[in-house]
């Protein structure tokens, strides 16, 4: 009986985050440590972008709606792919989300903040709100996408070298 319960608990734990990818999972590996080069290769777009605005949805009832944020950004510098100057990034507000929130308060969007983003087209599905359909998603929420000011000069150099090889 103990073995059956442990197996059931493991299945529930491993599948609980699957629909929304609420866990940090990269190519099937939990809490994977990715490299700049790996995410550059796996992403359709790589940009330095500035946060212009954001729209958040916080359900106020027991509905099936999940919280989410749609960030509006502008390209500052493109390293891979041709995104329009203005574009949106959708993220769910869960343990697997990528937030561009004010680093001082942790609340509200980091307006004017610049980020290195590894992006792919939206994997829009029936459980996502319509605003997610035309947006982009961060390649791996627990990976190399980050606030631009957190990058080292070595990382910026490597990124620019990857960009010239495309």
Q: Are strands 45-57 and 86-92 parallel, antiparallel or unpaired?
A: unpaired
- The angle at the Cα of 17, spanning 40 to 51, to the nearest 5 degrees, equals 45
Residue 1 has pLDDT above 50, yes or no: yes
- 54-80 as b/e: b if 16+ CB within 10 A: beeeeeeeeeeebebbbbbbebeeebb
Per-residue model confidence (pLDDT) at position 62: 61
**Weakest mean pLDDT among 51-60, 82-91, 149-158:** 51-60
CA dihedral 39, 44, 50, 53 (to 10 degrees): -110
Residue 77 has pLDDT above 90, yes or no: yes
Instruction: State the pLDDT confidence band at 166, using cuts at 50, 70 and 90.
Output: low
Residue 157 has pLDDT above 90, yes or no: yes
Q: What is the pTM of this model?
A: 0.81
DSSP 5-49: HHHHHHHHHHHHTTTTT-S-EETTEET----HHHHHHH-SEEEEE
What residues are paired with 51 via a beta bridge?
A: 73
Domains of the chain: 27-165 (2.40.50.120)
Q: What is the mean pLDDT of residues 114-133?
A: 89
């Amino acid at each position: 009986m103990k073995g059956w319960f442990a197996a059931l608990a493991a299945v529930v734990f491993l599948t609980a985050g699957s629909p929304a990818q609420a866990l940090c999972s990269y190519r099937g590996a939990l809490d994977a440590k990715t490299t700049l080069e790996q995410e550059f290769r796996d992403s359709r777009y790589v940009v330095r972008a500035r946060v212009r605005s954001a729209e958040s949805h916080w359900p106020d009832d027991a509905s099936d709606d999940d919280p989410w944020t749609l960030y509006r950004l502008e390209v500052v510098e493109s390293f891979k792919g041709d995104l329009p100057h203005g574009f949106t990034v959708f993220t769910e507000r869960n343990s697997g989300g990528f937030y561009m929130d004010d680093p001082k308060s942790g609340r509200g969007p980091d307006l004017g903040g610049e980020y290195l983003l590894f992006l792919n087209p939206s994997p829009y599905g029936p459980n996502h709100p319509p605003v997610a359909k035309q947006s982009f998603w961060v390649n791996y929420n627990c990976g190399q996408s980050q606030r631009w000011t957190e990058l080292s000069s070595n990382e910026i150099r490597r990124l620019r070298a990857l960009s010239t090889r495309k």
